[in-house]
Structure 1
Amino acid sequence: MDLLVVALAGLGTALATGLGALPVWWLGDRAELLRPALWGVTVGVMSVASVVGLLEPALDAGSAGEVGAGLAVGVAFLLASRALLERRHVTIAGHDGPGVRTGVLVFGVLLVHSLPEGFAIGTAYASETAGLGLYVILAIALQNIPEGTSVAIPMDAAGIGRARQFWAAVATSVPQPVGAAVAYLLVAEIEALLPFSFAFAAGAMLSLVAVELAPQAFARGGRRLAAAGTALGAATMVALALAFGV
């Protein structure tokens, strides 16, 4: 029964990611005018998430060597994935172009970073500390919402439909219930992997911001909007981190 509760908790955090697509839908035709700001939001959200939500807990739990290795492998993973996509003609539902490539990269990086977050859920439940499991679930679920927005923004820019945006956002968090269940059953073994896995995800996410998202945000003729969006995205994630002590 406890395992089922843990898996359902992970599923709940995954579904929360889909809520992040809703603000993009609400903007409708105005999204094109605000595109630099939307890309900026993605830059801010993912920058803070990578440092506060991934790199900081990696440093708290592991050695400098483990974290450094994870960062290096994460950077290499992102750059190799980007190079592979540049050599291939990638389409989603008949849409192609740089926006689709960016969307695929955002999807892939968030998918990868969801597994260690699932580990964190399972480990928190296994610790049997009163209220810790619920605390971690709420923190991750709320942080998943703006990350879902980060998935929807490049897909919307590429002309991909709303239903696909929603389910793509949810799909990025599918590893969370899996990771939660595995960590609950194998807590000692998983705890040893957390520093590397968090650092790996942080390296991939920071690289994505540097080589793909920031250029998209600031190369569209609306630098002030992009800067404002970046500040809004970063402030949102910092506020969530402070509220939940992440």
Structure 2
Amino acid sequence: MFENLSAIQLALLGGLFTWAMTALGSAMVFFFKEIKPKTLNLMLGIASGIMIAASFWSLLLPALELSNHYRFPWFPVVLGFGLGGAFLYLTDKIVPHIHRLEDKPEGPPSSLKRSILLVVAITMHNIPEGLSFGVAFGNATYQNLSIASAAVLALGIGLQNFPEGAAVSIPLRRDGMSRYKAFMYGQASGIVEPLAAVFGAALALWISPLLPYALAFAAGAMIYVVVEELIPESQTDSHLYGHSATFGAMLGFMIMTFLDIALG
């Protein structure tokens, strides 16, 4: 069914799927006005585990395999990983945004509403997710490999987008925003993923020698998001709600590992 599609078309389909999962999570605002903190910690923990596992199995490992012909095979992996983290760090510094648990915006001064700044933060951190499976589809096409691994990566990203969508829209509703408006803000944070995925696939095809760097770059950016945002948010009041975030992270890692090994 998908064999005749190009890497860019596959990346676009993957991006539309992950966006749809974000929208589905955001749609929970029509059924719930709040999420219990313990449940939210669990959901964010699962998202963290999925992204960590995806970074290794679907990005860093293929990057290392592609670097075997280098004199120093570790170099593209280490450099690309570091550049991915640096990219997100610089983005945090130059784009005004705010994280869910913070009262003070980051980046340059801005007159934008808190709700807009929150969506900007989630949107920024969705870029490496779309880039990751876009590059993976490009890599599979360039090497004439099965697209299963890239498809599994998109599936994993989509699964973790569900709680992220809910984590955006439901707090907005709790703060007084209408259900429809909260839903629209939540799903809007996922729009960037199809665009980033198409860009990643095109980059992988047009500049194929940079593939190991691109894969490692996406991994570094994803790990930066996990450590900077998801893990801290999942540990909110952990002394009150036990180890739900930790168990969630373990479960998420196991789910993504199973999907990648069994299906990819």
2:243 matched to 1:224? Answer: yes
The residue type paired with residue 211 of structure 1 is E
2:52 matched to 1:47? Answer: yes
Name the residue aligned to 1:156. Answer: 169
2:111 matched to 1:95? Answer: no
Name the residue aligned to 1:35. Answer: 40
SS at the partner of 1:95?
helix
Mapping 1:134-213, distance limit 5 Å: 135-136=148-149, 138-149=151-162, 151-156=164-169, 158-159=171-172, 161-181=182-202, 183-184=204-205, 186=206, 189-190=207-208, 192-213=209-230
- Kept in 2, the 8 Å contact 1:111–1:172? The answer is yes
* Identity of matched residues, %: 24
Following TM superposition, by how much is the alpha carbon of 1:65 offset from its aligned partner in structure 2, in angstroms?
1.2
2:128 matched to 1:118? Answer: no
Segments of 5+ residues of structure 2 without an aligned counterpart are 68-72, 97-105, 173-180
CA distance in 2, matches of 1:165, 1:201: 23
CA distance in 2, matches of 1:19, 1:209: 21
Q: Deviations over 1:36-89 (max 9, x none)?
A: 222212222222222222222222212211111112222222333334442435
Structure 2 counterpart of 1:108, from 101, 107, 124: 124
Q: CA RMSD in A?
A: 3.1
Name the residue aligned to 2:102. Answer: none
CA distance in 2, matches of 1:23, 1:113: 16
C-alpha distance 42-128 of structure 1, shift in aligned 2 (>3 A):
closer
- Kept in 1, the 8 Å contact 2:149–2:260? The answer is no
CA distance in 2, matches of 1:151, 1:90: 24
- Kept in 1, the 8 Å contact 2:19–2:187? The answer is yes
TM-score of the superposed pair, with normalisation by structure 2 = 0.72
2:61 matched to 1:56? Answer: yes
SS at the partner of 2:189?
helix
Segments of 5+ residues of structure 1 without an aligned counterpart are none
